[in-house]
Amino acid sequence: MKVPLLDLQLQYRNIKDEIRQAVEEVLESQQFILGPKVEALERALADYCGCAHAVGVSSGTDALTIALMSAGIGPGHGVITTPFSFFATAGSIVRVGARPFFVDIDPLSYTMSPQALEVFVEDDCRFDSGAGRLIDRQTGLAISAIIPVHLYGQCADMDPILALARRYELTVIEDAAQAIGADYPSLADRKVSRAGSMGDLGCFSFYPSKNLGGFGDGGMVTTRDEALADRMKILRGHGAKPKYQHQFVGGNFRLDALQAAVLLVKLKYLESWTTRRRENASCYGSLFRQSGLIGKGLIIVPKAVYESQGSEYNPEALSPVPPAFFHIYNQYIIRAQHRDDLRTHLAQQGIGTEIYYPLPLHQQECFRDLGYPRGDFPESEKAAAETLALPVYPELGHLQLEYVIDKMSEFYRSVL
């Protein structure tokens, strides 16, 4: 049996007539850059994410870059994020001339640890009340923003992150590239909020492998702030308004109409695809328990403390349990003993897997000058050494899921 990590051909077969019609409409219009399709997608995504505004851009990476630019973050500024993320999170900070400051992750959710964030601010920074700025003691840089990453399909613990940001007047940019449709039940606001709607700006990717993926690169930035939305619309077209009159040095960050047309079709199916991913994740959990791999400590499955079952959110029912997450399973991530050997065995059995991410950002060659030695972020380093993504895409059948677990059990019987 073959179980690829992702099979987009199956998805396409089910919707190809709609996709082709939508693409044909763009071809007939001969309007390929921005235009009505992009505007329609912006309205639909703003509504889906619970924001007033959405701005279509050329990729998830450019979404992060233009979000930082619109917030006025550049040379002389520092931005706090985690070292356990896709490269674009920190790369975009450096691209605008700012400096990333890393804090460690929570070992269960793999997202920013609010405790580590608090320790960094309290121990490594000082607040200049006269200037109204948080200053890194060692570099003297003004800490201007936080980028929490909603990794693998679940939200970071936003209540304490947002509280700290308000305390020190920091911009919050949500990296929601892997979390479109994920929900966060806030005990502070006593409501459920969508990823991308809680901070000042939310950044999404439509890379083909995402839960909502295009036929190439694409991205979106959401915000409640009309002024930020207007500024991003200028920045994405080289900073020109009106045409050929440039207020800022922007970039070519525009979303193609062809991508918007494809995404508008796919958006209609996103909720049902998310449901299937969550069902597959639940099935994995049951199969792992039956296999005994969890009980023996060989496998740790994803943990989301709060899982919506379609009932109304009840803040009193959650308290005093810490806020948690509606997981959309962009990836199904396990921790596995003998991870690398397990991955080799699964590949030999026709099962696709991936390691997201094998080397934390603070250990990347290009960030060596930041001065973070090995051991500074132990949870990120441990996650990099232990985590493995299993297939979880919506079209997977139960027999394929059983096959994955059977072959994993077979591997552990051989090594124990």
Say what the pLDDT of residue 107 is. 92
Burial class (CB in 10 A: 0-12, 13-18, 19+), 201: buried
User: What Å distances lie between residue 68 and 53, 78, 174, 221, 321, CA to CA?
Assistant: 16, 11, 11, 11, 34
Report, as an integer, the average pLDDT of 111-137.
94
Run of H or E including 288: helix 270-291
Q: 232: closest CA among 253, 217, 206?
A: 253
pLDDT in tens, 248-298: 899 999 999 999 999 999 999 999 999 999 999 989 999 999 999 988 889
CATH 3.90.1150.10 residue spans of the chain: 270-415
Give the SS3 label for residue 152.
coil
Q: Which class does domain 270-415 fall in?
A: alpha beta
Say what the pLDDT of residue 304 is. 57
**Residue 188 corresponds to which amino acid?**
A
Q: Report residue 329 CA to chain centroid gap.
A: 11
Q: pLDDT band for position 317 (50/70/90)?
A: very low
Report, as an integer, the average pLDDT of 220-236.
97
Say what the pLDDT of residue 309 is. 36
Residue 116: is its pLDDT beyond 70? yes
Report, as an integer, the average pLDDT of 164-168.
96
Residue 324: is its pLDDT beyond 70? no
Q: pLDDT > 90: what percent of the chain? A: 85
E-only strand ranges, 166-228: 171-175, 183-186, 191-194, 201-205, 219-223
pTM for the structure as a whole: 0.93
Say what the pLDDT of residue 325 is. 54
CATH 3.40.640.10 residue spans of the chain: 8-267
Say what the pLDDT of residue 185 is. 86
Phi/psi of residue 36, each to 5°?
-60, -40
Mean of all residue pLDDT scores within the chain: 92
Say what the pLDDT of residue 71 is. 97
Report, as an integer, the average pLDDT of 303-315.
42
Side-chain-facing half-sphere of 173: CA atoms under 13 Å = 32
Residue 320: is its pLDDT beyond 70? no
The CATH number that domain 8-267 falls under is 3.40.640.10
Q: pLDDT band for position 321 (50/70/90)?
A: very low
**Residue 2 corresponds to which amino acid?**
K
Report, as an integer, the average pLDDT of 311-336.
63
pLDDT in tens, 50-96: 999 999 999 999 999 999 999 999 999 999 999 999 999 999 999 99
Residue 307: is its pLDDT beyond 50? no
Q: CA–CA separation, 160 vs 19, rounded Å?
A: 42
